[in-house]
Amino acid sequence: MTELLPLRSSFATGSRVELEVRGDRAPGELTVWHLGDLVARRDYDGAELIDLGELPAGGYGIELAQGTTLTRTAVEVGDGSRMRYGFVVDYAPDRDVSGVADLARRLHLTDIQFYDWAYRHAALLGGGEEYRDALDQPVALSTVRRLVAALRAVGTRSLGYAAVYAAGPAEWADWEHRALLTASGAPYSLGDFLFIVDPAADDWLANFGGDLSAALEQIGFDGFHLDQYGYPKRAVRPDGVVVDVAESFVTLLAALRDRLPDARLVFNNVNDFPTWRTARSPQDAVYIEPWAPTLTLGGLAEVVTRARSVADGKPVVMAAYQHVYDSAPARESDLATAFTMAALHSHGATQLLAGEADRILVDPYYVRTHVVEPSTADLLRRWYDFLVEHDELLLDPSIVDVTASVAGPYNDDCDVTYPSTAVTEAPAPGAVWRRITESAGRTVLHLINLVGQDDTVWDAPRQQPGDTGVGTLRIRRLGEAVPRVRVGDPDAGGRLVDIAVTLDGDYATAQLPPVGVWQLVLVEPRGKDLT
């Protein structure tokens, strides 16, 4: 087998794009593609490293043909503003860190969350060089530093986990005067393990900010993942002050940005609380951890849409944990993950899911990870490649949803139909869920196949999608131009391919292949030469 592995998770504009070839290095032909257009073609002579030189900003698919074998990867060239998030949880002394760096390269992960690296939640660096964390996991700071260095070498940022308002029993006496209290006067807590304080209290902010600043200096993190638990929304302190926790979070984020001007900061909006207040805060992404009642694919899409509307162009990341792997076979669970990614990617968000060297998240306590089977590893590689290769059609902040403006008989501008399968605006069992977006003069149709599904729950076993039949795309023409239509599917080759277009008066039509899980259709109304 052959593997193409980019040397970096993302390449800065103006840098040389380099790939490592692992496994079979038989001679062949290498091609570089951008949105289905051939950018470069060259012979491959069996070298271990391939230097593609400089490429303009954008996402690219790379293919290596060796006889009848085709190997693919993708690369991103840009300014580093995207966020494809992963995680690490093992800081045991002398552990091998190379697999973590390899996964970051393989899945193009721009950021890695260092979950529970610290000694205690209210004393991040209080344990010396080696200790047991608050839940008795071994931590060697030398390992943490080696992970940071290995990830930095491949272009991936390291974010240290830190809860923004939690103190454990050993530190509680120092902070109970800042407690957030229930109506009965007990402190809000996470079980009997952590107690919650006002995150905007002056003395807490000074201590917390000092811990973060020290961690930047002593560990070398690039920034921090700032966690909360989603409650309380409002509470009273022992001094009688009524705390609006959403406003306290805003105060905290502003104070941390002032203290850590160059750090990457990512705050967890648990169950969308309070995204409407924190999204515009001085941080680097809008990160949301969904729980009930956000149980369906449509619910995920709605949360992402709201987040993008207030994100000021920041990337949106959903921590949608696929618990399904704990209770269902890999085949059914992989399909659940595919549908989740289809919903998120088609709406302009990414998913925190993969990490370590071979794990995915199935639990909010990240140490309880799931070791992936080969089918899951292959799925993630295909879909993350597709995400990177088509980045500008999926994640660009300028993308807008135009479904209600162009589809349907009243608009009659752009739509798709199937012989015996319904097309719906919202996800519905038995139908093709259709969404249409526009950006930079291009139209994109997202088609998600829910034929054969009994419901639209995202974290539940899924059945193999049913046959949608061939779709008919109908487009209103722009002048005399012949529209160009391309189709891509992460499970069917990955790369966009041209589809024949037939003219019919003021309209053009194209026959689309049946939908697998997710099909992306790119329409350029003016044809190949966009002007």
DSSP H helices in 87-180: 98-106, 141-153, 172-175
Token pair for 341: 């990614």
- Model pLDDT, residue 191: 86
Band (pLDDT 50/70/90 cuts) for residue 526 is confident
pLDDT digits (tens, 9 = 90+) for 71-116: 999 999 999 999 999 999 999 999 999 999 999 999 999 999 999 9
Contact 357, 102 (CB under 8 A): yes
Over residues 442-470, mean pLDDT: 97
Whether 529 shows a pLDDT value over 70: the answer reads no
Residue 301, H or E segment: helix 297-310
Q: How far apart are CA 481 and CA 129, in angstroms?
A: 67
Contact 345, 390 (CB under 8 A): no
CA 396 → CA 71, 94, 155, 500, 526, distances in Å? Answer: 27, 40, 21, 27, 21
Band (pLDDT 50/70/90 cuts) for residue 527 is confident
Q: Residue 285's closest CA among 110, 523, 530, 490?
A: 110
- Written as one letter, the residue type at 66 is Q
DSSP code, position 353: -
Contact 279, 309 (CB under 8 A): no
Whether 427 shows a pLDDT value over 50: the answer reads yes
pTM: 0.95
- Model pLDDT, residue 531: 41
- Model pLDDT, residue 325: 97
Residue 448: what are its φ and ψ, rounded to 5°?
A: -115, 125
Domain 400-524 fold is Immunoglobulin-like (2.60.40)
Looking up tokens 């600043």, which residue turns up?
A: 213
Identify the burial level of 473 via C-beta atoms within 10 angstroms of its C-beta, where 0-12 means exposed, 13-18 middle and 19 or more buried. Answer: buried
Q: How far apart are CA 11 and CA 76, in angstroms?
A: 6
Q: Provide CATH 2.60.40.1180 ranges for the chain.
A: 400-524
Q: Provide CATH 2.60.40.10 ranges for the chain.
A: 2-78
Whether 249 shows a pLDDT value over 90: the answer reads yes
Q: Which residues contact 48 (CB under 8 A, 6 or more apart)?
A: 20, 21, 25
Contact 78, 13 (CB under 8 A): yes
- Model pLDDT, residue 528: 62
Q: Please state which architecture CATH assigns to domain 2-78.
A: Sandwich (2.60)
pLDDT digits (tens, 9 = 90+) for 9-55: 999 999 999 999 999 999 999 999 999 999 999 999 999 999 999 99
3-class DSSP state of 141: helix
Whether 270 shows a pLDDT value over 90: the answer reads yes
pLDDT digits (tens, 9 = 90+) for 472-497: 999 999 988 999 999 999 999 999 99
SS (H, E, C) 358-406: CEEECCCCCCCEEECCHHHHHHHHHHHHHHHHCHHHHCCCCCEECHHHH
Token pair for 123: 């004393």
pLDDT digits (tens, 9 = 90+) for 172-191: 999 999 999 999 999 999 98
* Sign of the torsion angle spanned by Cα atoms 113, 115, 120, 121: positive
